[in-house]
Structure 1
């Protein structure tokens, strides 16, 4: 809800026959907390999602069905183990737990009041202590386009930081909340607060990843318009930027320059089936807007719950983890902790080898939409940056190792020379057989130096031997450790 309204703009009035919205909240899991979270999810009635459980096809999506048979053939074979792990113990995949709610709630804002149907919630445990929550919502039939945009804009704000978003209520008549954050983490999923990693004191927002701006939820949307609706560039721009009502309660577009909106259209809109169906991808929303009817409309909604949902999750996760790895490199740069550097190198290598895949879909439309997701979310640039980070880490590690070896060699050479000259020739005879302790009191300064060098050399050698054994044991443990 911005503080301006584009002047001399006519905002078209559309009727939205059907609107399904999915709000995605990424979060950091507490270290080694995944197993406890899985146990808690099962106790709360969440079910582990696998393609083998065909009874789940119509459980979480309202009147829609996501065919597991078709889902198995949409993605490349090397992608399936990542997004569809067959067991909840497989830490290298997206372990999805879902629960159907099917409950009615209301949302009230300054210029909007409406009921909505909460269909289901997914809690997805991803590799590298990252999690994602997905909240599926169905809006009432025949809302106006502006009302749908306003609802989306209000619901995605977890914690309002400006006045325009502070005047909301959400919940039921008996119990409502003034923040979406409280509604989610006190009413819907109160147990989740115990598993969020909030050690980062510099984070400005609840549950924030310190390397990711997530004060607002990402939105996956399906919006079905009436068949005679005339969709233009301005309304698609409104969708991509989630422009509902301005601060006076008027529908607004958020831009005035047609050339600017056209450039936005060219970079963010997949229009293979225009002027009937468009896919809009931005930093805030991935949506299908269509005026298709009947079976085709039903199929498009199914895709947004199924294949395109998983395509988005995969690239969205890529974006998050790539930013996390870059952030970790900057965080440890000053301290140059060897263990942390080694851990980061292993994490980057494991992500690149086991998780990251530039191609995920086997169908043409899926490949083309994935290319838009990659471009808009900046996956290629982030991946290149992480590769550069890996090269820098290797160079720094080699430089540090070389410097440490040179210093060690200098120390050992010094001790070998000094102890050889002084220790063996000056005081060694007093240590043969029974040590003559009384003669130590009568040593000359050179003999004192020789004794000191000999004893300190023995001590340093012993310490170095102990450290070598400890390093070997730690290296063995790190080799067995699972970083996913």
Structure 2
């Protein structure tokens, strides 16, 4: 089989949005927003038209088009009208920092335009970074993307530099420089479960070439096949038929041959042969608007479903009664409030949204969560049934025995002034009747106190669960 002849393309413009999911402490729901305001992050709102040009490095995002792209229920979650409305609270900061990506093959200058921190329900947040490169080779763009997505750790002979100082990753530079206290809001119990080696990278690259986009180009970018050990561009297969089959279900070619999209587990890449204009155009509207929020929404669903699975896996079924109730509430709240149909209005939006969800494996995670819900509900029903049966048995025994003994043996001695000397002359059956009556009264009072205490605790717990699942609310809980 002949090797694939790779033709190096030139990238005139490449824009990137790197997204990293975070798990926050439940108690940090308000304090993290207060902190972001302290470090000069701005609440993003669609009705503020000044923000259409604020965060995209000269590109413009039409807010009215974004609002019309999603169904009303979806838009209310993605774009809440105020800070105290439930939904995705996006805080953005325009930074425009110049950096350099340094490796053996080349030194690539790039610009970080802005960063977002999106606070979401269920103690989930996202850190999003907007980056731009210009005038580099296609393989260099792949290498840059591979490094851009790394969370931590040093790659041999590769680094990034800002103002002459080297950093192991872009995210470490941004957090240290612009929001150093952000890690203090992390939920350390869940960080290990959510911690990934790579961010999700959403990219759009203009080749500005007369040659059409080929499947091998999409495959190389989706699988990050940059330079080999000898410093030459490579692809990890020589079988064009294999490439065609592997990309068949994951490409979106509605705008072919000029523009093609590919979704993978860790990336959504768009390759276009036309120029990415700095003014308002359909490609940048999709990139910074439609597809960005479709990715965010799908990542939110995936992250919450994974959190639910993780919480279920660490529960001790016979010990963690309160955790079981909390998990049941979270599952039902998520499915009823946030997992209803989030389709965009247009057919194009529905197609790309379904492709993104398929790439993230949302349906499989959802099926697993429904099994968790069924298992928890079945366990709770069985547990409640056992408790009710035991309680009914105890109360029935007390009722029967009291009816047989107490009314006939000693209750007449309780009328009027009680003569306590009479109790000394009781026979064993009468003493037993006394014990049954008074122990029954103690049982009833104990059950009443337990019920009242449990109701108070349930109200307190429900307030905590609401704060965790809603994230923000106009009601003071």
Tell me whether the two structures share a fold, i.e. TM-score over 0.5. Answer: yes
What is the correspondence of 1:422-461 to structure 2 with a 5 Å cutoff? 433-434=417-418, 436=420, 450-461=433-444
Residue 55 to residue 431, structure 1, CA distance change in 2 (3 Å): same
C-alpha distance in 2 between matches for 1:106 and 1:447:
94
Deviation at 1:346, TM superposition (A): 2.8
- Match in the other structure for 2:60: 65
C-alpha distance in 2 between matches for 1:67 and 1:263:
37
Residue 143 to residue 437, structure 1, CA distance change in 2 (3 Å): farther
- Match in the other structure for 1:125: 119
C-alpha distance in 2 between matches for 1:382 and 1:77:
25
Deviates more, 1:289-298 or 1:306-315: 289-298
Aligned length: 465
What is the correspondence of 1:242-257 to structure 2 with a 5 Å cutoff? 242-257=224-239
- Match in the other structure for 2:297: 314
Summarize deviations over 1:346-404 as a string: whole Å, max 9, x none: 32233222222334211222121112112211222322332333333332222211111
Summarize deviations over 1:47-73 as a string: whole Å, max 9, x none: 111111101111111121001121122
Deviates more, 1:355-364 or 1:216-225: 355-364
- Is the Cα contact below 8 Å between 1:57 and 1:68 reproduced in 2? yes
C-alpha distance in 2 between matches for 1:248 and 1:438:
106
- Is the Cα contact below 8 Å between 1:51 and 1:84 reproduced in 2? yes
> Does residue 86 in structure 1 map to residue 81 in structure 2?
yes
SS at match of 2:21: strand
SS at match of 2:450: helix
- Match in the other structure for 1:370: 353
C-alpha distance in 1 between matches for 2:378 and 2:217:
50
- Match in the other structure for 2:475: none
Deviation at 1:413, TM superposition (A): 2.3
What is the correspondence of 1:382-393 to structure 2 with a 5 Å cutoff? 382-393=365-376
What is the correspondence of 1:390-405 to structure 2 with a 5 Å cutoff? 390-405=373-388
C-alpha distance in 2 between matches for 1:444 and 1:254:
94
> Does residue 108 in structure 1 map to residue 102 in structure 2?
yes
- Is the Cα contact below 8 Å between 2:405 and 2:433 reproduced in 1? yes
C-alpha distance in 1 between matches for 2:276 and 2:90:
31
- Match in the other structure for 2:6: 11
- Match in the other structure for 1:46: 41
> Does residue 273 in structure 1 map to residue 255 in structure 2?
yes
Q: CA RMSD in A?
A: 2.8
Summarize deviations over 1:52-109 as a string: whole Å, max 9, x none: 1101111111121001121122112221111111101112x11111000001122334
C-alpha distance in 1 between matches for 2:457 and 2:114:
44
Residue 118 to residue 181, structure 1, CA distance change in 2 (3 Å): closer
Stretches of structure 1 that go unaligned for 5 or more consecutive residues are 1-5, 201-206
C-alpha distance in 2 between matches for 1:428 and 1:256:
96
> Does residue 192 in structure 1 map to residue 186 in structure 2?
no
C-alpha distance in 2 between matches for 1:443 and 1:273:
97
Q: 2:336 aligns with which of 333, 353, 358?
A: 353
TM-score normalised by the chain length of structure 2:
0.88
Residue 30 to residue 274, structure 1, CA distance change in 2 (3 Å): same
